[in-house]
């Protein structure tokens, strides 16, 4: 079936969904120090579902509204507003049940004709429309084949990938009338020590910044948004190569080493060094155990940064580079680092703070975010499991290449990888067989 003309989505309805049970009076939720480090970037997760047999689009919409309303009763900050405190000039969440925005859309093509690889073509203004008045917004889009996509956009001040994963899994459980596996913790109780103290190295990794700094990041390249499939056989092969020297390396460490080695071939020849960064979740590092913070809703992220010379990366083996990756990540996967980071932020408040690497300071770099435990195939909102689920961002200004890894909806150990890349880097990654441009052939449509 040939479709003439370009892909369009017609937005037909907008509704505000409020928590069915809400707080008796509005509550002000101050952001933690680590929330202030994550900025206010929009984060979007999207899921595609086959034609739900025997379920009409109006019934899907009504069911989603009902289950979302119940879920917001547990995740009540997600139904609030984020405003600037006039005294501190820092954002805070007003938990007043203003509600989440739900948008209905109708696409002019069948799902099989969607360009899954080129996210620039199908995201902004089509499958994602960001309204700054709503920290949480959902777009439900139906296709001419009756397939459905669900796009959920969060303000990063609400939380990180772990927090959003808990929300989506809870929504899925509510939709299926299952008991909640997560009782969310909204305390945001990551307080600095008295007096605050930190390792001087943090002054090199992070910086206080302004909105102007963010808007004027030193970008020399067009940034493309792409989606890839990485087969489980490729992942296992990379890990095997990374462990050749007898060192035990994770799949992410092996994958990172592979990317870093390719990254260095796609940078300007004037650079003698190249950096890579990794987002690290502190839930298993703070308070002693993972379980004590497993349901914490908010941001508990830091950034590990590794640096190597161009010569080291070109000449080194995947195993050598994976050791560099392992050593860089190990420096921040401990309680002291996160306590120091909380204190560093305290010493630089008020204001915005970001990692220098994200601001594009210090040369070409790439940041990788791993979501190996993020829910994908297990999600079911009442009309079947997704054939694809991943994360993306509509952000237009970023000073670093970005790669997000999530489990494939296949459930076979393969990965779905979304990326923000400059053209030379995209070409270099696609010149090999590991990064397969996402297409309908990778989905069980």
Query: What is the pLDDT, as a whole number, of residue 165?
Result: 97
More reliable by pLDDT, 404 or 399? 404
Token pair 């009902």 is at which residue? 66
Query: What is the pLDDT, as a whole number, of residue 20?
Result: 97
Q: Does the pLDDT value for residue 220 go beyond 70?
A: no
Q: Please, what is the average pLDDT of the chain?
A: 93
Query: What is the pLDDT, as a whole number, of residue 255?
Result: 98
3-state secondary structure of 97: coil
Phi, psi angle pair for 401, to nearest 5°:
-70, 150
Q: Mean pLDDT throughout 395-420?
A: 93
Is 381:67 a contact under the CB 8 Å cutoff?
A: yes
DSSP 192: P
The Cβ of residue 57 has, within 10 Å, a number of other Cβ atoms equal to 16
In the structure, what pLDDT confidence band is assigned to residue 217 with cuts at 50, 70 and 90? confident
Is 409:218 a contact under the CB 8 Å cutoff?
A: no
Domain annotation for the chain: domains and CATH numbers: 9-176 (3.30.559.10), 200-388+395-442 (3.30.559.10)
């Amino acid at each position: 079936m040939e479709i003439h003309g370009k892909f369009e989505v017609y937005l037909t309805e907008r509704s505000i969904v409020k928590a069915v049970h809400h707080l008796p009076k509005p509550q002000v939720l101050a952001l933690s120090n680590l929330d202030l480090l994550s900025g206010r970037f929009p984060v979007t997760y999207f899921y595609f579902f086959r034609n739900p047999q025997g379920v009409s689009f109006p019934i899907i919409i009504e069911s989603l509204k009902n289950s979302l309303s119940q879920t917001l009763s547990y995740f009540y900050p997600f139904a609030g507003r984020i405003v600037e405190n006039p005294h501190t000039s820092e954002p805070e969440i007003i938990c007043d049940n203003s509600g989440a925005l739900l948008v209905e859309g109708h696409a002019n093509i069948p799902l099989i004709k969607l360009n899954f690889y080129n996210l620039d073509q199908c995201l902004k203004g089509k499958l994602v429309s960001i309204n700054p008045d709503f920290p949480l917004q959902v777009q439900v889009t139906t296709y001419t084949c009756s397939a459905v996509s669900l796009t959920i956009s969060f303000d990063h001040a609400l939380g990180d990938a772990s927090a959003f994963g808990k929300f989506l899994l809870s929504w899925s459980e509510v939709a299926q009338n299952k008991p909640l596996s997560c009782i969310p913790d909204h305390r945001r109780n990551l307080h600095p020590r008295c007096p605050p103290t930190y390792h001087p190295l943090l002054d090199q990794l992070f910086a206080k910044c302004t909105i102007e700094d963010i808007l004027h990041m030193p970008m020399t390249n067009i940034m493309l948004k792409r989606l890839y499939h990485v087969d489980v056989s490729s992942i296992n092969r990379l890990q095997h190569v990374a462990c050749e020297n007898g060192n035990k390396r994770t799949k992410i460490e092996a994958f990172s080493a592979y990317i870093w080695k390719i990254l260095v071939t796609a940078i300007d020849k004037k650079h003698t060094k190249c950096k890579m960064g990794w987002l690290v979740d502190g839930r298993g590092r703070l308070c002693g155990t993972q379980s004590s913070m497993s349901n914490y809703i908010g941001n508990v992220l830091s950034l590990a940064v590794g640096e190597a010379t161009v010569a080291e990366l070109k000449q080194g083996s995947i195993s050598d580079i994976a050791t560099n990756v392992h050593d860089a990540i190990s420096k921040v996967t401990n309680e002291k680092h996160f306590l120091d980071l909380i204190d560093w932020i305290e010493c630089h408040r008020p204001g915005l703070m970001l990692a220098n690497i994200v601001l594009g300071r210090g040369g070409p770099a790439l940041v990788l975010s791993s979501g190996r435990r993020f829910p994908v195939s297990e999600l079911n909102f009442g009309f079947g499991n997704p054939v694809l689920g991943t994360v993306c961002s509509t952000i237009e200004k970023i000073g670093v290449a970005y790669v997000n890894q999530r489990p494939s909806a296949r459930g076979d150990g393969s990965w779905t990888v979304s990326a923000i890349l400059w053209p030379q880097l995209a070409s270099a990654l696609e010149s090999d067989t590991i990064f397969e441009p996402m297409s309908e052939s990778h989905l069980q449509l």
